[in-house]
Structure 1
Amino acid sequence: MPQFPLSSLPKLALLAPFALLGACQSNSTTTETATTTSAAADSSAAAATAPPDSAGKKKYLAAPLVKDIYTADPSAHVFNGRIYIYPSHDIDTGMPENDNGDHFAMRDYHILSMDSVGGKVTDHGVALDIKDIPWAGRQLWAPDAAFKDGTYYLYFPVKDKQDIFRIGVATSKSPTGPFKAEPKPMEGSLSIDPAVFTDTDGKTYMYMGGIWGGQLQRWRTGKYDASKPKEQEPAATEPSVGPRVARLGADMKQFAEPVREVKIVDKDGKVLLSGDNNRRFFEGAWMHKFNGKYYLTYSTGDTHFLAYATSTSPYGPFTYQGNFMNPVQGWTTHHSIIEFKGKWYIFYHDTELSNKTWLRNVKVTELKRGADGSIATINP
């Protein structure tokens, strides 16, 4: 987090170069890394600072899962009793930082897996490279995955040849790939951060979207508007831009219905306003279900919280319940939540290894709840 109170700045002053989530890239070997702790150096000016311990070193709640590559935006799933993590793969491109996030120029995905939380983590190497996506232009960002009828599906956002973010899908018979991409993006897809959720009735939904560099605000009319390259959120007193959702078809490669906007409302049923930066949606949506209730969790972006809202329907509207993770070290925050062996876990990232907001590392910690289903606050 910046070393000044973001809430005191005008909104336009917040259009920092770090306004984005990233994704992927790297080598092709399979390695195993034990989840041991590592020392952290000073954070950059744009990074949130972990509290120091008695020796003056920064303390972190959890350790990076892997240390030989930079990983971010972890989408975790349990397949065949094993945890598989589908993260972005950060690289240092040497590109100057800008408001569009061009320096987040990831080019491939590595898939991680482990038998137990706290155990060895296996890096299965490159599962998909941008050069093997026929329609892709640049910037392979935060992915997600699903399984159905013997096939694994990898969903990914990448800019097309016209520099517009779309969602693509690739398939494999193995949860670790390699994955083969479809020749075209999903019809009707847009923006970034696909999150795929299969309900208890077998229906599968995709949530997607991110404002600012994720371009979601450019779709407010239902069509992409490239006429105002610096356009950001609606006015502070206007309704905020919500993520999008659509149910997937039987083949898991296309939508079975039109994409619709998800409304996030307050306790009075009023849509959160664009200027409500501590609560409104920014990017990185995730969906899970607990005790029959749908939990939409997401990043507030420029205020660096993870928030949650609940509903009785996967389409919403979702009622804001609170922020459950305080800011991590680094500008971006992106997560996933799974149940494994009777406990719930949250996978997230920070910048402990690099102290650079575009070179992140994935972590995991237990997610705890109150008796009423509320999510306990996490201090990362």
Structure 2
Amino acid sequence: MPMIKSAVVAAAFTSLGLAACATDSASGGAASGSATSPASASRYLSQPIIPGMYTADPSAHVFNNRIYLYPSHDIDAGVPDDDQGSHFAMRDYRVFSMDRVGAPITDHGVALDLKDVPWAARQLWAPDAAEKNGKYFLYFPAKDRQDIFRIGVAVSDRPEGPFKAEPTPIPGSFSIDPAIFRDGNEHYMVFGGIWGGQLQRWATGQWNPNGSNSDLGQPDRPALTPKFAKMSADMLTFAETPRDLVIVDEAGQPLKGGDTSRRFFEGAWMHKHNGLYYLSYSTGETHRIVYATSQTPYGPFTYRGVVLEPVQGWTTHHSIVQHEGKWWLFYHDTQMSGKTHLRNVKVTELRYNSDGTIQTINPMR
């Protein structure tokens, strides 16, 4: 039985209590003085739903009619900033849940710690989760002893954990941002991220520390794409070699590396609405969440538009989930800290137009 820490930490959309949060930042809590004043809070479309702790990259799923959140857990580890994201030095995962959006959030405590992952050396970045046959699976990226990102899996009998990590990463896995998509009885993983996420170093299919043969620095080449693979029956390995999820423009041509307002950067998520497959992702340096659609989960996906305009902070990472007849967008920004590596989770309703396009959301008022 996992230890349940703080049965209810806060009501969603409430930020006025942040001023009282003064836990030690080394353990991931919000430091004293990080609170957002009521006046400045009004600038934002939504408010942090987990005040008192820095969390980001929220993967949301509905299990047993309850919303579970699997975010990364930001801490101030004292690591200098660099272009590879070394200052994102997260060390554990916590699971949160709520009956519905707007209800109090339950903090279920630490679900997995870096020290309990035999193969991992550092940087527990954005995770995701899935359920199959009463078992729950936590998928997560971490750097191995050679400082190469791999994707691991941990298993539990409960959606909140604790989770026990497999002794080795998923064979053939690499890069970051695993997201699990369920389509009927099948599960798939979409993953990958460039720059610090190292996807460009796998452009040839083999590890290349120099990242040659990618589109980076070559704006006229087809952009790198997220990777996609069906999961095995036991959910612990890939059932096939990961393949590219090609994203094309309205003319059917692959997006180019220089098309930074539309190209894939990181944080892919897949969902299905009215029989259509939606691939959404972060554009990275242009700070948007955008989306493309396809008739099949393997694509190609045609670019359609913007889901979320830029948030406060360098960029964001999202998930999309349906609950109680509505669709919800979970994302993060830096309202609580003003620092890109100390983020906070938010949520807002996602709406579709009659033609299946998504209504663009502006996170600032």
| 2:72 counterpart (60, 85, 88) | 88
- TM-score (structure 2 length as normaliser): 0.90
**Relative to 1, partners in 2 of residues 1:358 and 1:232: Cα closer, same or farther, differing over 3 Å?**
farther
* Equivalent-residue separation in structure 2 for 1:179 and 1:139 (angstroms): 17
| 1:218 counterpart (197, 201, 215) | 201
State the match for 1:240 in structure 2.
223
State the match for 2:274 in structure 1.
291
State the match for 2:46 in structure 1.
62
Q: Number of residues paired by the alignment?
A: 341
| Corresponding letter in the other structure for 2:5 | T
Does the residue aligned with 1:154 lie in a helix, a strand or coil? strand
Residue 34 of structure 1 pairs with residue 11 of structure 2: yes
| Corresponding letter in the other structure for 1:378 | I
Residue 310 of structure 1 pairs with residue 293 of structure 2: yes
Residue 149 of structure 1 pairs with residue 125 of structure 2: no
Deviation for aligned residue 1:38: 2.6
| 1:115 counterpart (99, 124, 138) | 99
Does the residue aligned with 1:302 lie in a helix, a strand or coil? helix
Residues 110 and 124, structure 1, Cα contact 8 Å, conserved in 2: yes
The one-character-per-residue Cα deviations of 1:164-188 (angstroms, maximum 9, x if unpaired) are 0010000000000000000000011
- The aligned runs of 1:41-52 (5 Å cut-off) are none
State the match for 1:267 in structure 2.
250
State the match for 2:345 in structure 1.
362
Does the residue aligned with 1:362 lie in a helix, a strand or coil? strand
Does the residue aligned with 2:122 lie in a helix, a strand or coil? strand
State the match for 1:191 in structure 2.
175
* Equivalent-residue separation in structure 2 for 1:298 and 1:73 (angstroms): 12
| Corresponding letter in the other structure for 1:105 | A
* Equivalent-residue separation in structure 2 for 1:315 and 1:110 (angstroms): 31
Residues 211 and 232, structure 1, Cα contact 8 Å, conserved in 2: no
Residues 306 and 323, structure 1, Cα contact 8 Å, conserved in 2: yes
* Equivalent-residue separation in structure 1 for 2:196 and 2:4 (angstroms): 29
| Corresponding letter in the other structure for 1:100 | Q
Does the residue aligned with 2:121 lie in a helix, a strand or coil? strand
State the match for 1:322 in structure 2.
305
**Relative to 1, partners in 2 of residues 1:374 and 1:184: Cα closer, same or farther, differing over 3 Å?**
same
Does the residue aligned with 2:251 lie in a helix, a strand or coil? coil
* Equivalent-residue separation in structure 2 for 1:28 and 1:234 (angstroms): 48
* Equivalent-residue separation in structure 2 for 1:57 and 1:177 (angstroms): 33
Residues 234 and 240, structure 1, Cα contact 8 Å, conserved in 2: no
* Equivalent-residue separation in structure 2 for 1:34 and 1:339 (angstroms): 20
Deviation for aligned residue 1:57: 6.3
User: Identity across aligned pairs (percent)?
Assistant: 61
Residues 311 and 318, structure 1, Cα contact 8 Å, conserved in 2: yes
Deviation for aligned residue 1:284: 0.2
Q: CA RMSD in A?
A: 2.0
**Residue segments in structure 1 that go unaligned for 5+ positions in a row:** 1-26, 42-52
| Corresponding letter in the other structure for 1:276 | D
| 2:114 counterpart (120, 130, 133) | 130
The one-character-per-residue Cα deviations of 1:337-367 (angstroms, maximum 9, x if unpaired) are 0000110001000111111111000011100
* Equivalent-residue separation in structure 1 for 2:171 and 2:267 (angstroms): 21
* Equivalent-residue separation in structure 2 for 1:361 and 1:174 (angstroms): 25
* Equivalent-residue separation in structure 1 for 2:229 and 2:40 (angstroms): 48
| 2:59 counterpart (75, 90, 102) | 75
Does the residue aligned with 1:218 lie in a helix, a strand or coil? helix
* Equivalent-residue separation in structure 1 for 2:354 and 2:169 (angstroms): 43
Deviation for aligned residue 1:334: 0.4
Residues 212 and 232, structure 1, Cα contact 8 Å, conserved in 2: no
Residues 139 and 152, structure 2, Cα contact 8 Å, conserved in 1: yes
| 1:203 counterpart (186, 195, 198) | 186
Residues 28 and 126, structure 1, Cα contact 8 Å, conserved in 2: no
* Equivalent-residue separation in structure 1 for 2:41 and 2:187 (angstroms): 45
| 2:81 counterpart (77, 90, 97) | 97
Does the residue aligned with 1:139 lie in a helix, a strand or coil? coil
Residues 130 and 136, structure 2, Cα contact 8 Å, conserved in 1: yes
Residue 249 of structure 1 pairs with residue 232 of structure 2: yes
Deviation for aligned residue 1:31: 4.2
- TM-score (structure 1 length as normaliser): 0.87
| Corresponding letter in the other structure for 1:115 | D
Does the residue aligned with 2:347 lie in a helix, a strand or coil? strand
* Equivalent-residue separation in structure 1 for 2:72 and 2:315 (angstroms): 13
Does the residue aligned with 1:142 lie in a helix, a strand or coil? coil
Residue 171 of structure 1 pairs with residue 147 of structure 2: no
Structure showing greater relative contact order (alpha-carbon pairs closer than 8 Å, 6 or more residues apart): 1
- The aligned runs of 1:19-30 (5 Å cut-off) are 29-30=5-6
| Corresponding letter in the other structure for 2:222 | P
State the match for 2:26 in structure 1.
none
The one-character-per-residue Cα deviations of 1:45-78 (angstroms, maximum 9, x if unpaired) are xxxxxxxx99676511111111111000000000
Residue 377 of structure 1 pairs with residue 331 of structure 2: no
**Relative to 1, partners in 2 of residues 1:162 and 1:112: Cα closer, same or farther, differing over 3 Å?**
same
